[in-house]
Amino acid sequence: MMLKVINPNTTASMTAKIGACARAVAGPGVTVHATSPSRGPAAIESHADAALAVPGVLEEIATGETAGYDGYVIACFGDPGLQAARELARGPVVGIAEAAMRTASYLGRGFSVVTTLSRTVGQARDLTHQYGVAASCLGIHACEIPVLGLETPQARTSILQACKEALANDGSDAIVLGCAGMADLCHELSTELGVSVIDGVTAATVTVETLIRLSLTTGKLGEFAFPDRDRVEALLAETPLK
Amino acid sequence: MMLKVINPNTTASMTAKIGACARAVAGPGVTVHATSPSRGPAAIESHADAALAVPGVLEEIATGETAGYDGYVIACFGDPGLQAARELARGPVVGIAEAAMRTASYLGRGFSVVTTLSRTVGQARDLTHQYGVAASCLGIHACEIPVLGLETPQARTSILQACKEALANDGSDAIVLGCAGMADLCHELSTELGVSVIDGVTAATVTVETLIRLSLTTGKLGEFAFPDRDRVEALLAETPLK
Amino acid sequence: MMLKVINPNTTASMTAKIGACARAVAGPGVTVHATSPSRGPAAIESHADAALAVPGVLEEIATGETAGYDGYVIACFGDPGLQAARELARGPVVGIAEAAMRTASYLGRGFSVVTTLSRTVGQARDLTHQYGVAASCLGIHACEIPVLGLETPQARTSILQACKEALANDGSDAIVLGCAGMADLCHELSTELGVSVIDGVTAATVTVETLIRLSLTTGKLGEFAFPDRDRVEALLAETPLK
Amino acid sequence: MMLKVINPNTTASMTAKIGACARAVAGPGVTVHATSPSRGPAAIESHADAALAVPGVLEEIATGETAGYDGYVIACFGDPGLQAARELARGPVVGIAEAAMRTASYLGRGFSVVTTLSRTVGQARDLTHQYGVAASCLGIHACEIPVLGLETPQARTSILQACKEALANDGSDAIVLGCAGMADLCHELSTELGVSVIDGVTAATVTVETLIRLSLTTGKLGEFAFPDRDRVEALLAETPLK
Amino acid sequence: MMLKVINPNTTASMTAKIGACARAVAGPGVTVHATSPSRGPAAIESHADAALAVPGVLEEIATGETAGYDGYVIACFGDPGLQAARELARGPVVGIAEAAMRTASYLGRGFSVVTTLSRTVGQARDLTHQYGVAASCLGIHACEIPVLGLETPQARTSILQACKEALANDGSDAIVLGCAGMADLCHELSTELGVSVIDGVTAATVTVETLIRLSLTTGKLGEFAFPDRDRVEALLAETPLK
Amino acid sequence: MMLKVINPNTTASMTAKIGACARAVAGPGVTVHATSPSRGPAAIESHADAALAVPGVLEEIATGETAGYDGYVIACFGDPGLQAARELARGPVVGIAEAAMRTASYLGRGFSVVTTLSRTVGQARDLTHQYGVAASCLGIHACEIPVLGLETPQARTSILQACKEALANDGSDAIVLGCAGMADLCHELSTELGVSVIDGVTAATVTVETLIRLSLTTGKLGEFAFPDRDRVEALLAETPLK
């Protein structure tokens, strides 16, 4: 089984971290390839960043289809391009926000999201409605750390603090990390907090693996049928987005 | 007052039609410029089409900001790129789906949408939830005419038929046309049906005009503050999407 | 185009203010006539006040129909009598609460309402559900000023303070003023706050103007068909409500 | 215990029927007085009818308060004036739509409403949302009989037929009768259909009786505190609505 | 009329208190028999407690059917076994949570629940959604007193304090007591707080009494038809739950 | 890793089938033990059946905890006892309805459920609300085959027919099988229908396996903390439910 984990931003160190986390949880016989578009935003922190990352994500799906991947993960908490990716791929495509939040739904009454910048909170709230977890999402908390600033020790302290406050205020049963760049903090935070901490990269990787194991994939008879192939391929082939 | 009406697809005849309809309803002293991205999909009929149209829409916003436009209309019924456009523009930005559906909400208990292909119905349903009109939207009906096939006489017959069935089945008070390419049919259909027929192009044009008249614009203190300028400008300037 | 803006209470100074605000935003060629019922409550601050104002509103619609008005605004934030008015009028009827709240929906993620007395908050909350803006309405704040006390300098200070607290607590993108008597404060507040401030009187005036410009009106084939004419006319003609 | 059952329309035969049905279910020691306003619509079949019936309902509450009634029923399926009535009365006020629909909620998964004219269906649907029974209300069916035509044998046949179709199509566990004028059909229909049939007049009568027995009444500390007394009393005393 | 009020826990003193409260409100001619299963949890404070109380509740229904009871109350605020009980009984079955919360809905905009332990709050919140009162339930407050500790004077002080805080914070019109063991505090609290206080035991008792008076009972044609009789009877007869 | 898959009914052949299906999808190193309570209903087709199966399910959890299982599946589509089981177990517990329906949410716009008896449809609908998939569940279809009649060839034909009708009517992207007894039909149906068919037994098995792989489990700090141990253990040990 071959999985492609797509980091929609172009920061190589983050792609490497995502790949390591995904490989750490993949089952035996599962090959995980982490990748990111050659061009696009270095970080995704606004609606414009997300929108301009999507063509790159779709190119990665398109090249993945040629290469024969069995499934895909979109490794940015806004799940950019998820519906279009499902049109283009034969196998299942899972976003890390949907996987993290649905996985958290198995662990009790509700969860809190801890994320990067407060300007992304509205988008995360939208996703809770889209994925049917609005009632389970008991709070979304920004720690005001930019995506590319997550590696510093102060960042870890801020995130830990935000998680503690979230648990205390929301009465939640688990924490969902709201950025792929936090994937490596998962176990450490869980140990310190005494509750489950869900990272979307690992949650989505095992989710897509199990969908494939169960022979399940996107319905291709209606809304997610392959779109006008000439039109899409031409756009993707001739104009790789910066 | 200068308004830019952006047709997110690249079909010039459709841009011309959209411009004519918008100008027909704009108030005195309002200049309407209809435009479309230089490259992108010729029609928007799938999630992939919509996603790949967005960078072009944002380029039109960016060049519009340089040129000093007061407001923008995004003239495709999926409102592609609307939230990102609101980040980039100083003045208001209105999508034709939101304008059509909110305008219809003033006319009674509920409305029916008549649109092109059934594969777009799910997306339209999503928008009714996003815009708070799910309870008012009493039905969404596809007449299975592709976007670029709307000009034929048979198309008009099919659309009229779909409108009649929608009114009969849904008990609705108005019809919303679910594609910018139907803008020119509005009056004719209204006359034949005996109910209000709302076209999003004209609805959005007068809506953005009145927002400007009332000195109202997007809140720029939080989620819709201008995003990382260097990042976005570089992406838009250097890589015009095909 | 002739518009009738109905102040449902009988306080003449407020009718004059409402008329001035509406005329200030009406387009060229639009005549705005502000009026109020000859008898009824001097202010609307309870469910009973609102209920007892409705017959007067409907009489104004009925005389307006005889006089040939093209459309109507109901200028009280509870939108009293709106559905009955839509039955009686040929042209469109718009309430200031629905216009203000739907207009605010074009400006970002959400808005806060700043209103008069806390006993009206429940009613305003009801309207957010009725108009599909419950998710966009991030807070409703009363400043405990009675409707007829809005003219004092202290009132303006209190309202400004309530707006500032609303923005800080709710993270909203715009302010909606929850009383027709606040219409004249709109620009001043917007300047001081740095966000859009929406007054329903002006929002409803331009909304009904644009509905007429687009030839849109209430659906008259079902729920909003003209009611039993003899019954309604007799009630309205013979018993003007005090 | 003294209960006032207010028929909001002025048709005396209907008031008599309502009174008889209410008295038939009232407990020992409960005096039921059925009344209707001296002036107002003869039947309530539109939003305008309902709006113009409200002042009369409130006058009945006001005179009831002077006379010392312990509680009130508003006996029209639209529950006209219910919130204002709660402001004016010390004791509990119950509408027949809310009582019928909440009572039906104790009887299984869901109920169907069978009502008079299809133009009232939208209003009934609104009430299901307002009263929290939207998920339990599995269908609303109009049999197109005007309120004052309910007494004919054909009417009974049509209503029985509509009930049967409702049960078959909706899979509901009970029928709610959507008009006070159907109160006398309750037992007969129940016997023929083999399911519970709920009439709001009787349901509201026993509900208000039990609220009083439990010493429960409207909260008077906030939204439903008595309104500006001079203003309301003057309006009610001096201008009895026709 | 014979009513059986079932205390799902096995604490005899609580059963006695529940019986006394129910009898105090039952109408003339109504015999109330309070009972509890011979074996089961002494108090219900967790999902496991509730689940293990259900077989005992169903045995009480089964023996009640043999004895010819006309209706039943399930006197634990989680309404354990309510749907199964409705299958087994011919007459109506009412839970105290549903009765308390629906009864409170007649008294204004909303109510607050004051309950025992915070671990039960999630369950109470679930019930507000199930019973359609989520919008009316303005807060759920635990005073951290275990079910069997409600008799102490300190408990009464804590409950009174929790009610006061609930009214102040939630702006509610009434208090719902979230445990059958609080039934005897109802009048005293109401007097001290100046608002209606609803106890589910009394609310459910009068509700089931009135359902019977109106000849209403559970729909038996579909979901709540009597289940496979041999299977259920065998399970109940041969294995009385401890 | 040791998983216990609990069939809540006592039919051994069904337990064997469930075990075989679960083992077929479990990853390497995962031991699956399928079991059912020694006593309880032979099939679960009513609320009473489900309620009376719960004590047996909880006993299986309790003995599982002693034996050191890492996680549990509750293999009945009503997920009986799920919340109580989460209190009792250290490791994760997953119901087959929640797993099937959340898994289906990754595959497109929506799914249809095909189930056994129509009297269970209401319960399934309830679960879609509880699990946040109400908008994705486009239809629930009963084929009126009792649980213990699923093995016949006619049953397979009926189920296939129901699936075809569901796809045609609902426009869904996947089928969810609404009974553990259908687990073995999954691949065959998928092949014939050309869409993904989700069986809850396999979906829940891989879900609980991946939760354990990610070190995720139920939050134990609040609602799902272990309940009063003496009380629960005594009830479970001394009174095994028939």
Tens of pLDDT, residue by residue over D180-235, are 999 899 999 999 999 999 999 999 999 999 999 999 999 999 999 999 888 888 88
Question: Which residues in chain C have Cβ-Cβ distances shorter than 8 Å to B25?
Answer: 213-214
Of B41, B54, B228, the CB nearest to A231: B41
Q: How confident is the model at residue A239 (pLDDT cuts 50, 70, 90)?
A: very low
Q: Which residues contact A179 (CB under 8 A, 6 or more apart)?
A: A77, A115, A116, A147, A150
E strand map for C80-212 = 93-95, 111-115, 137-142, 174-177, 196-199
User: What per-residue string of b and e applies to E17-45 under the rule 16 or more CB within 10 Å gives b?
Assistant: bbbebbbbbbbeebebebbbbebbbbbbb
Mutate to test the interface with C, among B198, B214, B224, B226 (most CBs of C within 10 A): B214
Same domain, E144 and E176: yes
Q: Hey, what amino acid is at A215? A: S
Per-residue pLDDT at B238: 53
Interchain CB contact of F121 with E (< 8 Å): yes
Q: Do F87 and E47 touch (CB under 8 A)?
A: yes
- Token pair 């592709």 is found at B146
Q: Give the Cα separation of D107 and E214 in Å (integer).
A: 12
Q: What is the DSSP string of F13-30?
A: HHHHHHHHHHHHHPPTT-
Same domain, D79 and D103: no
Q: Do C47 and D238 touch (CB under 8 A)?
A: no
Distance from CA of F44 to the nearest CA of E (A): 10
Interface contacts A/E by beta carbons within 8 Å = 3
ipTM for the assembly: 0.95
Residue D238 in tokens: 């001096």
The closest alpha carbon to B87, from B217, B229, B225, B211, belongs to: B225
Question: Which residues in chain A have Cβ-Cβ distances shorter than 8 Å to E120?
Answer: none
Q: What is the DSSP string of E47-105?
A: HHHHHHHHHHHHHHHHHHHHHT-SEEEE-STT-TTHHHHHHH-SS-EEEHHHHHHHHHT
Of C133, C187, C195, the CB nearest to B219: C195
Which residue of chain B is at minimal alpha-carbon distance from C110? B219
Distance from CA of C238 to the nearest CA of A (A): 52
Residue D237 in tokens: 């005393």
Distance from CA of F122 to the nearest CA of D (A): 7
Q: What share of chain D is helix, strand, coil (3-state, %, to 5)?
A: 50, 15, 35
Interchain CB contact of C207 with B (< 8 Å): yes
Q: What is the DSSP string of A91-114?
A: S-EEEHHHHHHHHHTTSSS-EEEE
CB atoms within 10 A of CB B149: 14
Q: Is the pLDDT of residue D136 over 60?
A: yes
Same domain, C186 and C223: no
Cα distances (angstroms) measured from residue D29 to each of A82, B188, D25, D32, D162: 67, 67, 12, 10, 37
Question: Which residues in chain B have Cβ-Cβ distances shorter than 8 Å to C136?
Answer: 132
Distance from CA of E27 to the nearest CA of F (A): 31
Interchain CB contact of C52 with D (< 8 Å): yes
Max Cα distance, chain A (Å):
53
Q: Which residues contact A162 (CB under 8 A, 6 or more apart)?
A: A114, A141, A142, A143
Phi/psi at E4 (5° precision): -110, 120
Tens of pLDDT, residue by residue over D30-43, are 999 999 998 889 99
Same domain, B16 and B55: yes
Q: Give the Cα separation of E187 and E196 in Å (integer).
A: 9
Which residue of chain F is at minimal alpha-carbon distance from D110? F122
User: Chains meeting F at 3+ CB pairs closer than 8 A?
Assistant: A, D, E
CA atoms within 13 A on the CB side of E23: 11
Per-residue pLDDT at E242: 37
Q: Which of residues 128-147 of B touch C (CB under 8 A)?
A: 131-136
Block means of pLDDT (10 residues each) for chain C, 242 residues, are 97 97 96 94 96 95 95 98 97 98 98 96 96 97 91 92 96 96 93 97 98 97 92 72 36
CA atoms within 13 A on the CB side of F212: 26
What CATH number is associated with residue D86? 3.40.50.12500
Which residue of chain A is at minimal alpha-carbon distance from E129? A135
Distance from CA of A135 to the nearest CA of F (A): 8
Which residue of chain A is at minimal alpha-carbon distance from E123? A109
Cβ atoms of C184 and C201 within 8 Å: the answer is no
Question: Which residues in chain F have Cβ-Cβ distances shorter than 8 Å to E50?
Answer: 84
Distance from CA of D11 to the nearest CA of F (A): 42
User: What per-residue string of b and e applies to A142-174 under the rule 16 or more CB within 10 Å gives b?
Assistant: bbebebeebeeeebbebbbebbeebbeebbbbb
Phi/psi at D34 (5° precision): -95, 135
Same domain, F104 and F91: no
User: Averaged over A22-29, what is the pLDDT?
Assistant: 96
Q: Give the Cα separation of B199 and B194 in Å (integer).
A: 15
Of B105, B171, B219, the CB nearest to C102: B105
Same domain, A157 and A227: no
Q: Do E108 and D174 touch (CB under 8 A)?
A: no
Give the residues across from C140 on adjacent strands: C113
Q: Alpha helices, DSSP H only, in D68-94? A: 82-88
Distinct helix (H) and strand (E) counts, chain C:
9, 8
Interface contacts A/C by beta carbons within 8 Å = 3
| Structural domains in chain C (count) | 2
Q: Do B39 and A239 touch (CB under 8 A)?
A: yes
Interchain CB contact of E122 with A (< 8 Å): yes
Of D39, D130, D222, the CB nearest to C119: D222
Same domain, E13 and E64: yes
Same domain, A88 and A103: no
User: Averaged over A171-183, what is the pLDDT?
Assistant: 95
Q: Which of residues 3-42 of D touch C (CB under 8 A)?
A: 39-42
Per-residue pLDDT at D237: 64
Of D49, D55, D227, the CB nearest to C227: D49
Q: Do D51 and C232 touch (CB under 8 A)?
A: no
Chains D and A touch (3+ CB pairs under 8 A): no
Q: Do B102 and C105 touch (CB under 8 A)?
A: yes
Which residue of chain A is at minimal alpha-carbon distance from B55? A52
Chains E and F touch (3+ CB pairs under 8 A): yes
Interchain CB contact of D55 with C (< 8 Å): yes
The domain of C59 spans 2-96+203-238
Interface contacts A/F by beta carbons within 8 Å = 139
Which residue of chain F is at minimal alpha-carbon distance from D109? F122
% of chain A surpassing 70 pLDDT: 98
State which residues of chain B have pLDDT below 70.
Answer: 237-242
Tens of pLDDT, residue by residue over B76-132, are 999 999 999 999 999 999 999 999 999 999 999 999 999 999 999 999 999 999 999
Which residue of chain F is at minimal alpha-carbon distance from D108? F122
Q: What is the DSSP string of E187-229?
A: HHHHHHHTSEEEEHHHHHHHHHHHHHHTT-----SSTTS---H
Interchain CB contact of A109 with E (< 8 Å): yes
Interchain CB contact of E234 with F (< 8 Å): yes
Which residue of chain B is at minimal alpha-carbon distance from A119? B223
Q: What share of chain F is helix, strand, coil (3-state, %, to 5)?
A: 50, 15, 35
Same domain, B87 and B6: yes
Q: Give the Cα separation of C49 and C149 in Å (integer).
A: 17
Question: Which residues in chain F have Cβ-Cβ distances shorter than 8 Å to D109?
Answer: 122
Q: Do B49 and A232 touch (CB under 8 A)?
A: yes
State which residues of chain E have pLDDT below 70.
Answer: 237-242
- Token pair 């992304």 is found at A120
Same domain, F68 and F154: no
Q: Give the Cα separation of F191 and F181 in Å (integer).
A: 19
Mutate to test the interface with F, among A87, A88, A106 (most CBs of F within 10 A): A106
Q: Is the pLDDT of residue A233 over 90?
A: no
Question: Which residues in chain A have Cβ-Cβ distances shorter than 8 Å to E129?
Answer: 135
Same domain, A183 and A208: no
Q: Give the Cα separation of F194 and F184 in Å (integer).
A: 17
Distance from CA of C229 to the nearest CA of B (A): 19
Cβ atoms of E36 and E6 within 8 Å: the answer is yes
Same domain, D33 and D87: yes
3-state secondary structure C182-212: HHHHHHHHHHHHCCEEEEHHHHHHHHHHHHH
Q: Which of residues 145-184 of F touch E (CB under 8 A)?
A: none
Cα distances (angstroms) measured from residue A124 to each of A176, D198, F103: 11, 45, 21
Q: Give the Cα separation of E155 and E153 in Å (integer).
A: 5
Tens of pLDDT, residue by residue over A11-22, are 999 999 999 999
Q: Give the Cα separation of A123 and A128 in Å (integer).
A: 9
